[in-house]
Structures are given as C-alpha cells and as structure tokens.
Chains A and B, each alone.
Chain A
C-alpha cells in the first residue's frame, strides 16, 4: 500500500523567506502526487498535482513542487513566504483499495507559521 511521510509537523519561517515543506512517499505503481492546503476550520484546497510529464509542477499562490523519483520525494517550495501562506499543508498519493477503487493516502500534515 502507498504511504506518505511529511517531515516536520510544524515549520516556522519569516515573511519573505523560502518555504520548504517535505514530503516522501512510497508507491508500488507510478505515483500521482498532490499537495493540498487547509486554512483553519475549512476544507482542503488543491495547490498542485503531479500525474505524468514535467517533474516540476507549478501551482496556485506561487507554490511549486518537484517530483524526484530517485528520492521518492515531492517537496513543496515557495521562494518568498507571505503572511497569508500560514495554514496546514497536506501531501497525498493516489492509491487503489483492495477492491480496485481509487483513494488518496494523506500525510499527517505540516502546519506553516509565517512570522512578520
């Protein structure tokens, strides 16, 4: 079964600094990978996704992520943090259930704090 590990449950950066949120996955098939963002008491919003093709994917709000197969990683970056980026971020990998249905497997999340 697929799994996702997010290194660091809390990350704190200064406004204007680089944001780096780490995600490693395990997958027995070519992975489809996702990053979602969640603001307090809200649902999840898709930031970006990797399915096939270009390994550097760009998403909304200036975020991007690079799929590195050799490292089984899909780290999320943003060159310059903004106060509005403070939220919780979830990495996910597409998986199949025993019955062949599709599902997402999520990491435990990384809470990003942006300091003024």
Chain B
C-alpha cells in the first residue's frame, strides 16, 4: 500500500535535547511538508521541500531543521532552541505542479518536559 509513515507515534524527551522525527513516503511524490498542530491553531507550516537536497522555511521554522537526502525521506529535527516543542507534528507529501491535495501521515505527538 502506498502512503506516508511517521515514527514514532509518541515521543518523550527532556528539555534541552534534540529529537528527530521520521517521515517516509512511497507515493513517489516530489514535494514533502512538515506541519505543527496545536489545539485551536490549525496547521502551521514548518519546512517544505520540492526536490532532493533542497528545502525552504515555512512560517514557523525557528528551532527546527530538516534534510532531504532521498526523495522518500524528509526527517525533522526539533532542536533545543525551539521554545515550545510539545505539539503534534504532521508530515505530508504531494505531486508538484497540480496545486493539488496533500497526503498526510498519521502524525507524531512530541512531549518535552
């Protein structure tokens, strides 16, 4: 089955530690996205990538980093510089050039204490 996988589902970290969230897709999509979701805030774009080895900051990139070494993979690192890292993180992908829908993974809930 084609789709997007995110792991782990739940992640717990101590304040001051960096943590990497995994996102893999087998849909052969060129574009991939990371969103952060907080209650009542909707989805906010962190980073996106249209091609391997290239990515751009979204609306709330501070305290986050990404890489895109393979088409299928787009990991997100939440660094210790992110002031409020506890949130639900969603990865998505889409076909480029269609202005079309994005396909979402199941999400990772990160709790930092």
Q: Kindly state whether residue B43 has any CB partner on chain A within 8 Å.
A: yes
Asked if B56 and A102 sit within 8 Å, CB to CB, the answer is no
Contact pick for B40, options A9, A51, A99, CB 8 Å: A9
Known: A103-B58, A109-B42. A43 touches B100 (CB 8 A): no
Q: Kindly state whether residue B1 has any CB partner on chain A within 8 Å.
A: no
Asked if A32 and B100 sit within 8 Å, CB to CB, the answer is yes
Asked if B56 and A108 sit within 8 Å, CB to CB, the answer is no
A108 to B45, CA, bound (A): 13
Contact pick for A42, options B43, B94, B102, B107, CB 8 Å: B107
Known: A102-B96, A103-B45, A106-B43. A43 touches B56 (CB 8 A): no
A9 to B102, CA, bound (A): 23
Interface size class of B (residues with CB under 8 A): 20 to 34
Asked if B48 and A101 sit within 8 Å, CB to CB, the answer is yes
Q: Kindly state whether residue A41 has any CB partner on chain B within 8 Å.
A: yes
Asked if A97 and B42 sit within 8 Å, CB to CB, the answer is no
Known: A41-B107, A42-B107, A43-B105. A101 touches B56 (CB 8 A): yes
* Contacts from A to B (Cβ < 8 Å): 9, 32, 34, 36, 41-46, 49, 51, 90, 94, 97, 99, 101-104, 106-109
